[in-house]
Structure 1
Amino acid sequence: MRRRLNRLLDRIGIGWTDLALAAVFIVAALIAADAAGSGDVQGPIRFRVEGPVAVPMPPVHEESEQFDPLASVIAGAALAVRRRLPYTAFLVAIGGIFIIQEGLLWPGFVAILICAYSAVTYGRSAVLGLALLAAAAIAASATFDRSIPSLPGWLGPIVVFAVVGLAAVALRNARARADAAARRAAALEQEQATAARAAIAEERARIARELHDVVSHHVSVMVIQAGAAGKVIQTRPDLAQGALTAIEASGREAMTELRQLLGLMTPADDRLAPQPGLADLDVLIDAVRAAGQPVTLSRDDAEVPPSVDLTAYRVVQEGLTNALRYAPGAATDVDIRRDSDDLVVEVRNAAAPPVDPAVQGAGRGLLGLGERVRLHNGTLDTQRTLGGGFRLTARIPT
């Protein structure tokens, strides 16, 4: 039963607090009406004149007036919807006075004050709420020649200041809500700007990683092939011709990948090729072998998600590029295997003679590769082997 009542109150937008407040004021109105209508009321003291002296007469007990609590009950009941329908609650509470025009008791008067406060505080506009209160006050002043309920003289200023205080509190609350809304809007705008800047920075970093992977690998292959062609162009033109052909193929592939990368930033060409993956390793390894690097590939045929597929391809590409740059001619092994739910990609190369410091890089490729792997909650490990070689191992959850 309680659960059904909760659902009903939630549906109509009435809270338990306002419902309990309305019940309290309704009961208080009934009790006040019963107390006001019970017993005799002592009439005013009268005097009779006996010669030059005024002698007080015995007090006359008159039957007390019967109070109708309906106006107070209506005002108390209106408290139940003072938050959900603040204007309606005030109009209902004040309207009971104009319809019944008698019998308003203290509980009903206080209930009307609370409804007036709620009209200004919870209404759509504080100005509209105050205008509604002013209209009700003018209508009541024009309709009644005395206050309802009758107020002692000493209580009049207290009531006036209480109403003014309630209006001031309502205005202050409305201003505080407006300031809070403005702060929330400013914070939201700042948060959106921060998110936009973060997205731009992340996109720039991603583009930088892609550019490095594409340019670094293909340029390394082309430099090595050009050096080899320069050494044999006089004695073995056929080998030089093969190296030049490899340079041309590597350059075309680099242009294709760069065009694809730029197309992803401004997609306007439906003829773009898909991103490279593990299925393209043979082409990649053939290009490296043509540059004079002996490469052995070992892998299984397990399928992986497209994003992991691209990352694994970039790991192999970076490993082979580093082998070409730092260990040219050294035996290189590529091993791709599944280990439980992870994809393990390993590139190992044997030791090689020291290379010219001019061809050494700054290590940005491995840093970018580590960020790429961490996007998949994976790990990247780089270390020297006992024989003086180098091993690059990436573990990527699938």
Structure 2
Amino acid sequence: MEWYTALCNSRWKNTVLAVVYGIPLVDIALVVPDAGLVPDRTAGLLISLAIAVTTVWRERFLLPYSVLSAAGVMVTGHLLSTTLACYTAVRKGHSVLATVLVLVSLVFALATPESLIAHAPHPEATFFGAAVIVLVPVLMGCLAKANRKMAELTAERQAREALLQEGRLREAALRQRERLVRDIHNGVGRQITLMVLQAGAIAVRKDASAPVKDGCRLISDAGRDAVHALREIVVLAKTPDPGEVPPAERRHTLADLAPVIGRYRDGGRPITINVHISPVPPDPAAQDLAYKVVAEGLSNAARHARSAAVDIRIHQTGTELIVTVANEVPPPDSDPLPGTGHGLAWLREEVRSAGGALTTAPAPGGGFVLEARLPLPGDLAPRPASLTQENP
């Protein structure tokens, strides 16, 4: 039955039905031309053809099609002319129209010479046959209507089940995310707190040297920043209440790079920075991305090239902001620290989402270069550079 399903879903189904329906209509009109009120073969043939042709548009113009079908019964005297109109009216839910078609057909069946009681040898059988011809399409229309209703109910039930399944999956994902955040808080958060407390305890000891105290203060400051970032992650990642508004994401500026670079310098790392921007600074989104690029570059350099010098360049043109972080060749005895392996991938995805490009490659003389090209709004026309800052 696959061919039948394909035909029902095809745009040619009404045309095929018109041909199949028109063949018996035309055949009856030619074989029995004097059964109706107009005993003329040509008239019966024309109205039968008209009914067959308009069958293609019967659903769109049901009322004119029904009137034409009723006229076909009167002209030809054959009840087959209204069968498809009755079926369509019932299937579409036009019960009044279907009732009128049935009554017209049955009343006319009693009035035509073919089934008139005075002329028919077996009038009861004749009328019963007429009733079958008229009522069978009505019954089929009721079945089609019920089948369509069942299909709609099934589709609605499946849609509800899909929504429930989606809700269950979302709830499971939220529970998993909440469990992950709790594990991060209990594991990483406690370890960072312990590091900050130990560094603070060493920094206040009287027998500690000044470099040791400075290093401990640097560890304490970095740990507090890490705890603050972890708190923001926990707030953003926890399961929100329906009426809870998530906090707005913090956006950094180029000025926020000063304390970050200062901490790396306090740790003994030589860092040079060259900032070259126009009088109109970059938009906040570009500044935030530039901050993230520099922070990721410094973090990677600290892990993989501990004491190597780092050069940071931020250059603004009329159309983009170019951020470059390059580190020199690390000492041969340096031992790289492990990382998560996702920082550059996430940063590249964020830069790409903003319409920019992030490239990473070894430097020609050794070392490593991280460069990001961040697009700027089109209304920023090119202007001569007015600020060039270089810090040793």
Please give the TM-score of this superposition, normalised by the length of structure 1: 0.55
Does structure 1 conserve the Cα–Cα contact (< 8 Å) formed by 2:90 and 2:138?
no
Query: Structure 2: which amino acid aligns with 1:248?
Result: S
Residue of 146, 154, 176 corresponding to 2:110: 146
Match of 2:136 in 1: 164
Tell me, yes or no, if structure 1 residue 249 matches structure 2 residue 221. yes
Within a 5 Å distance, the mapping from 1:110-125 to structure 2 comes to: 112-123=82-93
Larger Rg: 1
Instruction: Name the residue aligned to 1:83.
Output: 59
Structure 1 match to 2:335: 356
CA distance in 1, matches of 2:259, 2:207: 29
Secondary structure of the structure 2 residue equivalent to 1:256: helix
User: Can you list the C-alpha shifts for 1:142-189, whole angstroms capped at 9, x where unaligned?
Assistant: x56715584699999699468636853774586368547845874797
Are 2:359 and 1:381 aligned? yes
Deviation (angstroms), 1:113? 2.8
Structure 2 distance, partners of 1:291, 1:149, is 113
Residue type of the alignment partner of 2:92: Y
In the alignment, structure 1 residue 288 sits paired with structure 2 residue 264: yes
Deviation at 1:264, TM superposition (A): 3.5
Sequence identity percentage: 27
Partner SS for 2:326: strand
Q: Paired residue for 1:278?
A: 254
Q: Is the 8 A contact 1:293 1:330 kept in 2?
A: yes
Q: Residue 344 in 1 paired to residue 344 in 2?
A: no
TM-superposed deviation, 1:349:
0.8
In 2, Cα distance between equivalents of 1:343 and 1:197: 41
Counterpart residue number, 1:105: 75
Q: Structure 1 243/367 Cα, relative in aligned 2: closer, same or farther at 3 Å?
A: same
Q: Which amino acid aligns with 1:368?
A: W
SS at match of 1:369: helix
The change in CA–CA distance for 1:288 and 1:240 in structure 2 (over 3 A counts) is: same
SS of the aligned residue for 1:371 comes to: helix
- Counterpart residue number, 1:236: 209
Task: Go from structure 1 to structure 2 and tell me whether the alpha carbon gap of 1:92 and 1:272 turns closer, same or farther (over 3 Å shift).
Answer: closer
Q: CA deviation at 1:273?
A: 7.8
CA distance in 2, matches of 1:269, 1:162: 64
Amino acid at match of 1:390: F
Q: Secondary structure at the match of 1:298?
A: strand
Aligned counterparts of 1:394 and 1:329: Cα–Cα separation in 2: 24
User: SS of the counterpart of 1:279?
Assistant: helix
Distance 1:80 1:352, change over 3 A: closer
Q: Is the 8 A contact 1:292 1:328 kept in 2?
A: no
How many angstroms does 1:191 deviate by?
9.2
Distance 1:146 1:107 in 2: 11
Aligned residues of 2:37 and 2:77 also touching (Cα < 8 A) = no
Match runs of 1:1-398 below 5 Å? 83=59, 104-106=74-76, 112-123=82-93, 129=95, 133=98, 137=102, 141=106, 146=110, 150=114, 160=132, 164=136, 168=140, 171-172=143-144, 175=147, 179=151, 182=154, 186=158, 236-237=209-210, 239-265=211-237, 266=240, 274-301=250-277, 303-338=281-316, 341-353=319-331, 354-356=333-335, 359-398=337-376
Tell me if the contact between 2:236 and 2:246 (Cα under 8 Å) persists in the aligned partners. Answer: no
Residue type matched to 2:273 in 1? L
| Other structure's SS at 2:217 match | helix
Q: Deviations over 1:15-62 (max 9, x none)?
A: xx9xxxxxxxxxx9xxx99x96589xxxxxxxxxxxxxxxxxxxxxxx
Contact 2:275/2:315 (CA < 8 Å) preserved in 1? yes
| CA contact 1:346–1:394 (8 Å) conserved in 2 | yes
User: Matches of 2:357 and 2:167 in 1, distance apart?
Assistant: 26
Do the aligned residues in 1 keep the contact of 2:79 with 2:105 (CA within 8 Å)? no
1:347 Cα shift? Answer: 0.8
Separation in 2, partners of 1:296, 1:258: 29
Letter in 2 for 1:356: D
Following the alignment from structure 2 to structure 1, what is the Cα–Cα distance between the partners of residues 149 and 228?
A: 57
Name the structure 1 match of 2:389: none
Tell whether the 8 Å contact from 2:37 to 2:76 is kept in structure 1 after alignment: no
Q: CA deviation at 1:280?
A: 1.4
Aligned 8 A contact 1:341 1:397 in 2: yes
Alpha-carbon distance in structure 2 between the residues aligned to 1:356 and 1:136: 93
The TM-score normalised by the length of structure 2 is 0.56
Residue 59 of structure 1 corresponds to which residue in structure 2?
none
**Residue 323 (structure 1) shift:** 1.3
Give a deviation string over 1:305-354, Cα, whole Å, max 9, x none.
54443333222111101112222232111112245634322111112223
How many Å separate the matches in 2 of 1:275 and 1:148? 88
The Cα offsets for residues 261-292 of structure 1, whole Å up to 9 and x where unpaired, read as 33344596899783334331112212222222
CA contact (8 A) 1:90 1:119 kept: no
Counterpart CA distance in 2 for 1:384 and 1:337 is 21
Q: CA deviation at 1:360?
A: 2.7
Per the alignment, do residues 389 and 293 of structure 1 end up closer, same or farther by CA in structure 2, a change over 3 Å counting? same
Where structure 1 has 5 or more consecutive residues not aligned to the other structure, the ranges are 1-16, 18-27, 40-66
